[in-house]
Copies of this chain bind each other. A is one copy, B any other.
Amino acid sequence: MICMTSSSQIRQPTRRPRVGRSAFLTCTPLYWGLARSTALLDIDLVQDTPDRLTGRLLSGDLDVSSISLVEYLRHSDDLVMLPDIAVGSDGPIQSCAIVTKVPLSALDCRTVALATTSPTSAQMSRLLLEQHYGVTPRYVTRPPDLEVMLDSADAAVVTGDAALAATMNRPVSPGVRAYDLGELWRRWSGLPFVLAVWAVRKETAARQPDIVGMVHRSLLAARGLARSESRELADRVAFWEPFTAPMLQDFFTRALAFSLGKRERLGLSEFARRSGYVTAALPS
């Protein structure tokens, strides 16, 4: 028979925080770090598409999640962003691109297909085309399949793995060029491109600051581990993806930035201002 232990050994269990992560390669370094540090034992990591992560965060199904910057700006009344961490670039980002059959300045009244999966890249493209290149295209929304998008449009905005594949690997048809959104934005504004932030409902941040702090510390530690082990990370990911290890290491360490420092916050605010978002919740 099993000996009954005394009830003094009973501890009330705490629910692990549910944390959303995008299935895209942009999130892979943090996933690597969370695994290596075994922070995965302390969080319930949920993988989903970027657009669905926002809905699950707002509904309370997730406690913390990476979400597209535009989604954050749309819901900034209810959300607060974690400090010091984001996904973006200070220059070329490689994973967000306008792929076009004509020069960007010739897209006036032409059709631009926007992928459904990244509202921030879509909004960044609209800003660039309308305010920087002075053109007003007709926008259509399409699933993120570059070939299909270009069949019925003069240009296509693609992100994530689809954009990486389009820009890194495939010589798109003759005359078709890919423009890096991070590079175009930096040339125009002089500032970094913030693609996604880690957000939490204000109500959760107020009610469970210790849990939110734990997730935040885990993410920062994961970022550090991924940086110091970027070569091994790239080697391992290259086995499964259509990119070489050097391409991936370059993407993870030189293109992508996971910081949210003073320059990134300026870039974020400038993007929000030019987009017309009125928000008091921006970090300064």
Contacts and interface: CB of A to CB of B under 8 A. Distances in A.
What is the total number of copies of this protein in its complex?
A: 2
Nearest to A36: B38
A97 interface: yes
Interface string A81-116: 000000000001010010000000000000000000
A237 B41 contact: yes
Interface centre among A40, A92, A232 (most CB of B within 10 A): A40
A229 to B, nearest CB: 9
B242 A12 contact: yes
B169 A7 contact: yes
A260 to B, nearest CB: 25
A10 B170 contact: yes
B31 A178 contact: no
A34 B41 CA distance: 11
Contact of A171 (B4, B15, B233): B4
Contact of A178 (B4, B12, B169): B4
Contacts of A243: 9, 11
B4 A172 contact: yes
Given A94-B2, A180-B2, A242 B38 contact: no
A35 B32 contact: no
A242 B13 CA distance: 5
Contacts of A40: 31, 35, 40
Interface of A: 1-2, 4-7, 9-16, 28, 31-32, 34-36, 38, 40-42, 92, 94, 97, 167-172, 177-180, 183, 232-233, 236-244, 247
30 contacts: A1-B177, A1-B178, A1-B179, A2-B168, A2-B178, A2-B179, A4-B171, A4-B172, A4-B178, A7-B170, A9-B169, A9-B243, A9-B244, A9-B247, A10-B170, A11-B238, A11-B241, A11-B244, A13-B241, A15-B240, A28-B41, A31-B41, A32-B41, A35-B36, A35-B41, A36-B36, A36-B38, A40-B40, A42-B236, A42-B240
